Amino acid sequence: MRAIIQRVSSASVTIDGEVTGSIGVGYLILLGVSKTDTDEEARRLWSKISKLRLFSDEEGKTNLSLHDIGGSVLVVSQFTLYANCKKGNRPSFTDAGLPDEANRLYEAFLALARTDLGDACVAHGSFGAEMQVELVNNGPFTILLDTDTL
């Protein structure tokens, strides 16, 4: 699994002109699932994200986690994180997970986040939908995580 984590002041996702998920302070997580990922990768990735200390303390050091600040997450599926642009100019997505299994793992990741943070602190997009994502990146602060290198 791959995730781009952006520390945000706010973020939202809109589908067909309707805002379907929004958060205040927290993380926008763009989540990609590969064809070899399992529930174990979802657990490892959420465990790492939930413990990341990306928020500033009173001294301006990044020492605070989502839990410490009472933050939220907006999780958006993003199979394009597995784009392979090695050949030609059109990306290949053969490393991305097949839709049914990728959706199952996306939902499993959401369930882990809800269990950890509570339903009210977890917003999301819709797997496979055409979405517009808006965010105010606080920093900017953006991290790329890949379970192959965690």
* Contact partners, residue 74, CB within 8 Å, separation at least 6: 8, 11, 12, 13, 21, 22, 23, 26, 27, 28, 29, 123, 124, 125
**How deeply is 4 buried, as exposed, middle or buried, from its count of CB atoms within 10 A (0-12, 13-18, 19+)?**
middle
> 5 and 52 in contact (C-beta within 8 Å)?
yes
Could you confirm whether 78 is annotated as catalytic? yes
In tens, the pLDDT along 28-39 reads 999 999 999 999
Could you confirm whether 79 is annotated as catalytic? yes
Which of 79, 109, 127, 147 is catalytic? The answer is: 79
> 73 and 116 in contact (C-beta within 8 Å)?
no
Which of 36, 80, 132, 142 is catalytic? The answer is: 80
5-24: average pLDDT: 98
- pLDDT given at position 57: 96
In this prediction the pTM is 0.96
In tens, the pLDDT along 98-144 reads 999 999 999 999 999 999 999 999 999 999 999 999 999 999 999 99
Which of 14, 20, 38, 78 is catalytic? The answer is: 78
